[in-house]
Amino acid sequence: MPSRLMPKADIEALFARFEAANPHPQTELNYTSPFTLLVAVVLSAQATDAGVNKATKELFAAAPTPQAMCALGEEEIRQHIKTIGLFNTKAKNVFALSKILAKDYGGTVPKDRAALEALPGVGRKTANVVLNVAFGEPTMAVDTHIFRLANRLGLAPGKTPRAVEDGLLKRIPARYMRHAHHWLILHGRYICKARKPECARCLVRDLCRYPDKTG
Ligand code: SF4
């Protein structure tokens, strides 16, 4: 759909505006290390960041490392996270991935996509978040917000998360890649919402290719 594709100059302008408005965007998940970030992202599937933060406050105080998480045990982990959706599966995965990190990686989180994706409960999206946020790699984790925005804006239209990921990696200028993921997520969460985008107060409205703008 060529007419929906945002031109290069507009992509540059879009990220320049995001950067000016929020030079150092952060994940809204609380974490203290690559390991706690990894656990927080695993717990965040089908849960809000606020809900995850509430549960991890005590979990991370009790078990900030893979070794400590193993010592805590699966049942205790389950007790800490039982307010989060899918807590049974997530407790199993957090315990199992902690065992692997403690045994095979000396308690560190590998800076390697294949190794991350081999961990229980860790898919491509989680690996992308960890590589980007913990290690500064220019990856793009496509969640529901980014998928919607890439299509609405005309930034990288695509039918699948992977097609959108590839399109974004190709089209976003390298100097914005470090923070692009957070700018897009925050824009999707607070302005370009799924049901009713707030186009009237959108700072990139004139650049956006969405034909059904509101306001
Ligand atoms: S103008 Fe509307 S549809 Fe386009 S990015 Fe802004 S909020 Fe989203």
User: Phi/psi at 157 (nearest 5 deg)?
Assistant: -60, 140
Closest residue by Cα to residue 196 from 164, 157, 148: 148
Mean pLDDT of 12-33: 96
User: Tell me: the pLDDT tens digits for 102-125?
Assistant: 999 999 999 999 999 999 999 999
**pTM listed for this prediction:** 0.90
> Which residue in the list 103, 104, 125, 166 is annotated as catalytic?
125
Kindly report the CATH number that applies to the domain delimited by 34-133.
Answer: 1.10.340.30
Across the chain, which distance is largest between two alpha carbons, in Å? Answer: 56
Q: Which residues line ligand 1 (CB under 6 A)?
A: 152-153, 191-192, 197-199, 202, 204-205, 208, 210, 213
| Protein fold of 2-25+139-201 | Endonuclease Iii, domain 2 (1.10.1670)
70 annotated ligand binder: no
Mean pLDDT of 202-210: 96
Parse the chain into domains and list their residue ranges: 2-25+139-201, 34-133
CB 37 within 8 A of CB 133: yes
For residue 42, report the distance from its CA to the centre of ligand 1, in Å: 29
CA dihedral of residues 175, 45, 67, 118 (deg, nearest 10): -70
pLDDT at 41 over 80: yes
DSSP structural state of residue 213: -
Dihedral (CA of 171, 179, 14, 212) sign: positive
- Say what the pLDDT of residue 3 is: 57
